[in-house]
């Protein structure tokens, strides 16, 4: 049982803790019901649910942050709501409206207040909204019934604590096809990533780097995070490709780099054979926050960026500014913060 008085918040990893309440809304006869908070963390669904057989499902990930004054805030939940709509459109699932998505997030966080880590612990409350196709189906076609749900869990770092660099290795496998589902957040992409992750982990790497599926020459994603590099002349560079998940953290960093740190920014191809153009590199995402990349192993050679032991100064500035905004310590651009 979770006891908020005894938990060592600073020692949390990225693991599932059962919270008190979950949000559930059901779609039937062409409409969503009003939705409600429930205590159970199980869903009873038909064995013919399309999510089980044909991967008709999608999910999101965002966080609630406890600010210094004790208040709680969400970071850009409208962006997660909009990205989920894109995932739904791609898999022919009904859209869950943006305003309802944000309201459901707020309700779920409020109901699970005791699971929100304290300010300064480094931990946050992770929200996992998801949608699944359910009902009695057997042919390959979209379901007529769906469940939208949210659970929350308090989390610490996805990779390593304390802005420590980790190493990655390029994969020979692809997580998504060139004109496939790489740009949306659907479970199939993650099923396709399990084996490549295991192969990387077995060799001692934190995760693998996916190259573009068409030519295997350009960096696409760092496991379940986007890639960025800092050039020798201090440009913030990140790849642009139709098979990359458009990371909300990445787009926030592009803004932070340009408007807060006054750095030039570029979204463009990052060739694996030219990674020495970067003096620092990192992985970014909701779970990963900013994880400095110590080095990348490619074709048997390890290329080290700034250091395998220490975070580089530009990556640290990016981290401090973004995390400062998320925690409410630094003024956010308009609309980025939603108070719970
Ligand atoms: N890329 C992949 C494959 C992901 O799963 C995630 C996580 O959501 C990201 C990138 C980062 O996206 P975001 O910053 O929106 O969390
Ligand atoms: C996130 O950063 O929210 C993710 O979805 C990564 C993950 C699949 C754990």
Only one residue has tokens 């008709």, namely: 56
Per the structure, the complete domain to which residue 39 belongs is given by 4-155
Q: Is 334 inside any structural domain?
A: no
Specify which residues 225 forms β-bridges with.
222
**Count of domains forming the chain:** 2
Please list the pLDDT of the chain residue by residue as tens digits (340 residues).
889 999 999 999 999 999 999 999 999 999 999 999 999 999 999 999 999 999 999 999 999 999 999 999 999 999 999 999 999 999 999 999 999 999 999 999 999 999 999 999 999 999 999 999 999 999 999 999 999 999 999 999 888 777 899 999 999 999 999 999 999 999 999 999 999 999 999 999 999 999 999 999 999 999 999 999 999 999 999 999 999 999 999 999 999 999 999 999 999 999 999 999 999 999 999 999 999 999 999 999 999 999 999 999 999 999 999 999 999 999 999 999 999 9
CATH of the domain at 272: 3.20.10.10
Q: CB neighbours (10 Å) of residue 273?
A: 9
150 lies in the same domain as 170:
no
**How close is the Cα of 176 to the center of ligand 1, in Å?**
14
316 lies in the same domain as 252:
yes
Q: Which of 94, 124, 155 is the last residue of a domain?
A: 155
| Per-residue exposure over 295-305, b if at least 16 CB sit within 10 Å of its own CB, e if not | bbbbeeeebeb
Q: Is the Cβ atom of 287 under 6 angstroms away from ligand 2?
A: yes
User: Is 80 in a helix, a strand, or coil?
Assistant: helix
CATH of the domain at 115: 3.30.470.10
Q: What distance separates the 2 farthest-apart alpha carbons in the chain?
A: 58
CA distance 288 to 115: 20
CA distance 261 to 64: 25
Q: Please, which residues have CB within 8 angstroms of residue 23's CB and are 6 or more apart in sequence?
A: 35, 36, 37, 38, 104, 107, 108, 149, 150
**How close is the Cα of 288 to the center of ligand 2, in Å?**
8
227 lies in the same domain as 173:
yes
Q: Which positions are annotated as active-site residues?
A: 185
Closest-lying ligand to the alpha carbon of 238?
1
The interface predicted TM-score (ipTM) is 0.98
Q: Is 335 inside any structural domain?
A: no
Q: Is the Cβ atom of 248 under 6 angstroms away from ligand 1?
A: yes
Whole-model pTM: value is 0.96
């Amino acid at each position: 049982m979770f006891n908020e008085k005894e938990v060592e918040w600073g020692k949390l990893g990225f693991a599932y803790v059962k919270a008190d309440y979950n949000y559930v809304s059901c779609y039937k006869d062409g409409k969503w019901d009003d939705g409600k908070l429930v205590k159970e963390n199980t869903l009873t669904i038909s064995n013919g649910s399309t999510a089980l057989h044909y991967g008709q499902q999608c999910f999101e990930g965002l966080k609630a942050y406890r600010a210094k004054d004790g208040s709680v805030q969400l970071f850009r939940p409208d962006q997660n709501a909009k990205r989920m709509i894109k995932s739904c459109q791609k898999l022919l699932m009904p859209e869950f409206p943006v305003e309802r998505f944000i309201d459901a997030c707020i309700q779920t966080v409020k109901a699970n207040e005791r699971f929100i880590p304290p300010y300064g612990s480094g931990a946050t409350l992770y929200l996992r909204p998801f949608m699944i196709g359910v009902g009695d189906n057997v042919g390959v076609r979209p379901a007529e019934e769906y469940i939208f749900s949210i659970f929350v869990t308090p989390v610490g770092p996805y990779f390593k604590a304390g802005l420590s660099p980790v190493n990655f290795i390029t994969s020979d496998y692809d997580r998504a096809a060139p004109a496939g589902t790489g740009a949306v957040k659907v479970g199939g992409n993650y099923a396709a990533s399990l084996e490549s992750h295991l192969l990387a982990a077995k060799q001692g790497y934190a995760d693998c780097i996916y190259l573009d599926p068409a030519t295997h020459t350009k960096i696409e994603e760092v496991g379940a995070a986007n890639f960025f590099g800092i050039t020798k002349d201090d440009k913030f560079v990140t790849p642009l490709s139709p098979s990359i998940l458009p990371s909300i953290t990445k787009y926030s960093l592009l803004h932070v780099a340009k408007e807060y740190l006054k750095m030039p920014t570029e979204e463009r191809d990052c060739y694996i054979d030219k990674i020495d153009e970067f003096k620092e590199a990192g992985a970014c995402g909701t779970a990963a926050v900013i994880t400095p990349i110590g080095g990348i192993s490619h074709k048997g050679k390890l290329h080290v960026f700034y250091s395998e032991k220490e975070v580089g100064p530009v990556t640290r500035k990016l981290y401090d500014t973004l995390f400062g905004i998320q925690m409410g310590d630094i003024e956010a651009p308009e609309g980025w913060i939603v108070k719970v």
